[in-house]
Amino acid sequence: MYKFIIIPLFFVSQLVNAQQPISFQLADSITNQCYLNGDWDKLINFGEEALRQDIDFKKLHKRIGYAYFAKGKYFSAQKQFEKALSFDNSDLDTRAYLYYCGLNLGNKTLTGFHASKLPSETQKKMSIKSFKLIDALDAEYNYKSNDDSLGIRSNPNYYRMGVDTKLSNRINLYQSISQYNQYVNVTTATKQTEYFGSLNCIISSKLNMDVAFHYLNTKVDTTLFPGYMYYGKISSKFNRFDFGVSGSLMTNALGNFGQINAHFGLSLLETNLYIKTILTRMIENKVNTTYDSNNNRFVFSQAAGAHILKPLWLEANVTLGNIKNYNDNNGLYIYNSLDPTTFRTGLTSIIKINSKLSLVGNYTYDLKKIEQTTINYNQHSFSTGIIWKL
């Protein structure tokens, strides 16, 4: 049996600053005393110094992790809890804290994986439901205004509704229906009705997979031009870093349109700031390339988001390159309107009303070119939406 050494906390900082040798018994005793007293800063400082001196055991990581968690530093807490779990894969308390880290970080992969490893009675106590027919509902409306100098393009509108189904802690099904309307040359009406279905599977605490299908029923006056898109993505999240690769293939009467994406992301300042980058290669095989020889091209997209106020998130984005037949947001949006966009930038806001209800607003500016001409025009897009977590 170990003999625990009780040392007044007054001397802890002196031990750390002086970098005196720390034994297992000393590290265990002092970090436990700090934990009981709720002295999180001293626990973190002394615990991290013990780790630097190669003192390494499960409870040390758990205590440091809890101290970071109590201070709202969830990335640091996640790192320590994951190390604690490596000592004991059956530790349910550590898994529960990793679940809560995922909730606070908005990391659904981390949350779903560790929830799936908890016993059913523990899930019930934590109010975790492994199946929900309707987990969330969302809806949006978008209106676009342009200054087409020829007067042959009307102002389009778009509306969409979606439902999220939780099939298990590690599998989600999202489905959406939408419609786009525009007159493209004063009298020719374009109407596009769409169905989108996406299945997300959590493979591990750091890896997940998405597969999706998008059907487009495009009607130009009375003629139908159906289209189909298949999408797949593998992504991983290592604490603050995100990586992923995705690809899609869309087929319609105009040809085949392939897209390959490399995704990169970085979270900074705990949950208050993040950046996302997508580099895309478009590979197109068109039936008619008379007017557009830019079939194979690169598209670059950059976004940055921040938690400005307690209920408010803002995200700014810019996209460079021709995004005709380009899909975004894991295949949910397909930009296949007649006129290609050559530059895009915008700002999205999310206002969290409460734990279940959020309001979404968006403004986007597009520089567009009238198909088969050299005439450019500006388009301003305004969206409003709602997300309701049931």
* One domain for residues 143 and 104: no
* One domain for residues 27 and 110: yes
* One domain for residues 359 and 230: yes
For residues 312 and 132, give the distance between their C-alpha atoms in angstroms, rounded to a whole number: 27
Task: Please compute the mean of the pLDDT values over residues 361-373 and round it to a whole number.
Answer: 92
CA dihedral 164, 168, 169, 171 (to 10 degrees): -60
Q: Which stretch of DSSP H or E encloses residue 339?
A: none
* One domain for residues 188 and 265: yes
Instruction: Give 103-159 pLDDT, tens digit per residue.
Output: 999 899 999 999 999 999 999 999 999 999 999 999 999 999 999 888 888 999 999
Q: What is the pLDDT of residue 293?
A: 53
* Residues sharing a CB contact under 8 Å with residue 10, sequence separation 6 or more, in sequence order: none
- 104: CATH: 1.25.40.10
Last-in-domain residue among 68, 99, 125: 125
Instruction: Give 299-332 pLDDT, tens digit per residue.
Output: 999 999 998 888 999 999 999 999 999 999 999 9
Which is it for the CA torsion 114, 115, 120, 121, positive or negative? Answer: positive
β-strand 341-352 against 312-320: which pairing, if any?
antiparallel
Asked if residues 313 and 325 have their Cβ atoms less than 8 Å apart, the reply is: no
Residue 3 lies in a domain: no
**Residue appearing with tokens 């005393």:** 33
On the question of pLDDT at 253 being above 80, the answer is: yes
Q: What is the pLDDT of residue 31?
A: 95
- The tally of domains found in the chain comes to 2
Strands (E), 31-85: none
* One domain for residues 82 and 147: no
Q: What is the pLDDT of residue 13?
A: 53
State which residues form the domain around 264: 132-389
On the question of pLDDT at 10 being above 60, the answer is: no
pLDDT band at 185 (very low <50, low <70, confident <90, very high): confident
Percent of the chain with pLDDT over 70: 93
* One domain for residues 56 and 150: no
Instruction: Give 263-284 pLDDT, tens digit per residue.
Output: 999 998 776 789 999 999 999 9
* One domain for residues 274 and 296: yes
Higher pLDDT, 216 or 7: 216
CB atoms within 10 A of CB 93: 13
Last-in-domain residue among 125, 146, 171: 125
3-state secondary structure of 151: coil
* One domain for residues 21 and 160: no
Task: Please compute the mean of the pLDDT values over residues 287-293 and round it to a whole number.
Answer: 60
Q: What is the pLDDT of residue 4?
A: 43
Q: What is the pLDDT of residue 266?
A: 94
Task: Please compute the mean of the pLDDT values over residues 227-242 and round it to a whole number.
Answer: 95
Q: What is the mean pLDDT of the chain?
A: 91
On the question of pLDDT at 52 being above 70, the answer is: yes
User: Counting Cβ atoms within 10 Å, is residue 73 exposed (0-12), middle (13-18) or buried (19+)?
Assistant: buried
Burial 49-70 (b: 16+ CB within 10 A, else e): bbbeeebeeeebbbbbbbbbbe
* One domain for residues 117 and 143: no
**pTM (two decimals):** 0.89
CA dihedral 12, 16, 17, 18 (to 10 degrees): 100
For residues 236 and 5, give the distance between their C-alpha atoms in angstroms, rounded to a whole number: 43
3-state secondary structure of 79: helix
On the question of pLDDT at 291 being above 60, the answer is: no
* One domain for residues 203 and 175: yes
Task: Please compute the mean of the pLDDT values over residues 44-51 and round it to a whole number.
Answer: 96
